[in-house]
Amino acid sequence: MPKATRTKKIKLKSKPIVSPEIHMNNSVTFRLQASGVAQAGICGSWMGSDGWNLPEKKMKKGKDGVWEYKTGILPGDLHTYFFTVDGVRVVDPLNAHAIRDVSSLSSVFLIDADIAVYYKVQNVPHGTVVKRWYTSSGVENYRRISIYTPPGYEKSGKNFAVLYLLHGMGGDEESWLESGRLAQVMDNLIAEEKCKPIIVVMPNGNVAQEAAPGFSSEGFIRPSFVLPNTMDGTFEASFSDILKFVEENYRVIKSKKGRAIAGLSMGGYHTANISRYYANTFDYMGLFSPALNNKPERHPSAIAYQNIEERLKQQKKNGYRLFWISVGEEESPLLINGIYDYKDRMDQIGMSYHFQETEEGHTWSNWRKNLVDFVQLIF
Amino acid sequence: MPKATRTKKIKLKSKPIVSPEIHMNNSVTFRLQASGVAQAGICGSWMGSDGWNLPEKKMKKGKDGVWEYKTGILPGDLHTYFFTVDGVRVVDPLNAHAIRDVSSLSSVFLIDADIAVYYKVQNVPHGTVVKRWYTSSGVENYRRISIYTPPGYEKSGKNFAVLYLLHGMGGDEESWLESGRLAQVMDNLIAEEKCKPIIVVMPNGNVAQEAAPGFSSEGFIRPSFVLPNTMDGTFEASFSDILKFVEENYRVIKSKKGRAIAGLSMGGYHTANISRYYANTFDYMGLFSPALNNKPERHPSAIAYQNIEERLKQQKKNGYRLFWISVGEEESPLLINGIYDYKDRMDQIGMSYHFQETEEGHTWSNWRKNLVDFVQLIF
């Protein structure tokens, strides 16, 4: 090294404050520059495992007015979190990436280890994500729908299989793309040839909504967890509008062997009902933490909920390739009992299914894993 | 009314705290439930008009621990704002809707009066919004692009005109859809037959990025305002990749009369350069607050920046229908001078243009208006 540079004093720049900082070992440090704040805390999706309750952890104030919290080693996942600043829930001001889940925003980061390598945008061919509108005569509405087409769909002359993928209560046509990492999971599994290149259709299962909050003519409304007519059979009865729209507008296999349907929580309930009502339509069913504690019998006038036993027998008789049910071991007993009731019904008529218990509870962490598992088994 | 109900005491529910509350006269009240906070403030896009500086207004604490701030009557617009909680910048915890602009999130609401009725999702037919990827040999990258197709495109056998719409520095292929309300503006103007049903193509103009932050293999990175190679001619030289992709994949008019190009700030600079370099390609140019203070001459080796005078003369000679330039009266003198320099160049060779001065400065408020004006004049 020449003398001149060797003797030159190196000017140290003050390091910019980073949050979240993901360390080599997948522990994470969060920072909040807030010298005027008396108390700061953090709630992260990794802190609770039932999907409902998160403890708040205190952040610690440093001399420089920067509050910090460091986690242990985190599992590979899409993690969400928020801070509390003197009791006010806020997203991390240093993190530009947030996801809306029902009516709240949470900051987000990815630990791309284990199964979560599939949640990352990798250097592989990417499918196309489309947001468009269809007319649903069944619910007298012009409705928004999200559709993923696999890499090569546009230039291929082939017909593709379709997975209809349904959201849970408080969700909408954005949920599987945002919280579910649908496009990344599909791109990556297709690139590894672990999943067929298929189309994934994500409708809005809330018939009271024409579109996700912010995308409808209601404007930037405050989203509600509970909406009218979500589990009264209206969505299920009108599902033929969606099938018709997809089969008229996309190059798809127009028979049972080319159709799968899956959903989480309320979407799992919808999946059970739709696949039973349209009893010869789907070869593959995926029920992720299905909210089968809701009983169709409560709405006796709903056309999609009539003759349950007969339709279930018909579904069995017509045949299918996979009926896949998963549930987290920390789910509510109510939900677990609902699933066992439906399994009993299936057992009574000798209907086959795959049943899988996972760790944790009613969480996106589970549903993303369910998706990765399920799409490798279909078509 | 039967006596029994008449004598029944009506139980008053405590009113939920709402923020933002938009009043009948388009004034707005913001609320923040934060009893443990010593100071709360608000910065709103309507408070500053140059696009760079926003004063902070103090919120006032009520007896119930709810801080409030009430505006005067606000103009129709998509407004953004954030709170400060003991000095920490946060989005409104009661508002689920936020937009990322460069590296920060801001809460958002719409006053749907005046021109902003075009920014609202109205009950009109909606176009389709597509996010897909194309291969750019020019920048050796697989790159993400946003495309709007008008209502009826899918079922029509016709060829459509295309507007190529470019973002500014710190922006990406999401910006015109998020901050620019592109899909809503197009849907509404097309429904009123004030604009032709056209395709709008929104590429990512940062050649150092394959996609918007969060959508690329870089993961959930902190977005930068300044990126390498944004105004060195690389994007302009590789623009033929985008033209090729669009014309191979969409039913479009493949001649000058079917092509327009427009952009804001850096995108206005790109528009000037692209339309000059591809001198017989576009019939309509829109430069919204163009950053023409950047001089192509600084990059003499850039192929798209060579022979500026000759190419400009060629662009004139080839003919075009509209060269539209707008600038806010409160823009920086540097930017305004850059525009006057380019106008001088055009004047010297007798090139015609439309020049429009607007209120305010370097703001999305201006660019949304520019868009509404410009798309009514093309095709």
B214 touches chain A (CB under 8 A): yes
Q: Which has the higher per-residue pLDDT, B169 or A137?
A: B169
Residues of chain A with C-beta less than 8 angstroms from the C-beta of B219: 110, 112, 120-121
Q: Are B126 and A103 within 8 A, CB to CB? A: no
Task: List, for residues B282-293, the tens digit of each pLDDT value.
Answer: 999 999 999 999
DSSP H/E element including A94: none
Task: List, for residues A13-40, the tens digit of each pLDDT value.
Answer: 677 899 999 999 999 999 999 998 999 9
CA distance B199 to chain A (A): 14
Confidence band (pLDDT; 50, 70, 90) for B13? low
Interface of A with B in 109-168 (CB under 8 A): 109-110, 112, 120-123, 125-133, 142, 144, 154
The minimal CB distance from B89 to the residues A88, A93, A222 is found for: A93
Residues of chain A with pLDDT under 70: 1-13, 140
Helix/strand/coil (H/E/C) assignment for every residue in B49-97: CCCCCCCCEECEECCCCEEEEEEEECCCEEEEEEEEECCEEECCCCCCC
User: What is this structure's pTM?
Assistant: 0.95
pLDDT of residue B116: 98
CA distance A272 to chain B (A): 30
What would the mean pLDDT of B169-175 be, rounded to a whole number? 97
What letter does residue B222 receive in the DSSP assignment?
A: P
Q: Are A36 and B35 within 8 A, CB to CB? A: no
d(C-alpha A355, C-alpha A343), whole Å: 9
d(C-alpha A185, C-alpha A115), whole Å: 10
pLDDT of residue A246: 98
Residues of chain A with C-beta less than 8 angstroms from the C-beta of B128: 130-133
B95 touches chain A (CB under 8 A): yes
Q: Are B100 and A96 within 8 A, CB to CB? A: yes
What would the mean pLDDT of B102-107 be, rounded to a whole number? 93
pLDDT of residue A51: 83
The minimal CB distance from B220 to the residues A85, A105, A109 is found for: A109
What letter does residue B179 receive in the DSSP assignment?
A: T
Q: Are A105 and B104 within 8 A, CB to CB? A: no
Q: Name the residue of chain B whose CA is nearest to A121's CA.
A: B217
ipTM associated with this complex: 0.94
Interface of B with A in 8-47 (CB under 8 A): 18, 32-39
What letter does residue A251 receive in the DSSP assignment?
A: -
CA distance A78 to chain B (A): 11
Q: Are A37 and B86 within 8 A, CB to CB? A: yes
Q: Are B131 and A128 within 8 A, CB to CB? A: yes
Confidence band (pLDDT; 50, 70, 90) for B45? very high
Which residues fall within 8 angstroms of residue A358, CB to CB, at 6 or more apart? A326, A327, A328, A329, A366, A369, A370
Q: Tokens standing for B161?
A: 């005109």
d(C-alpha B282, C-alpha B318), whole Å: 10
pLDDT of residue B234: 96
pLDDT of residue A226: 87
A222 touches chain B (CB under 8 A): yes
CA distance B221 to chain A (A): 8
Which residues fall within 8 angstroms of residue A7, CB to CB, at 6 or more apart? none
Nearest 10 degrees: Cα torsion B305, B306, B307, B313: -30
pLDDT of residue A237: 96
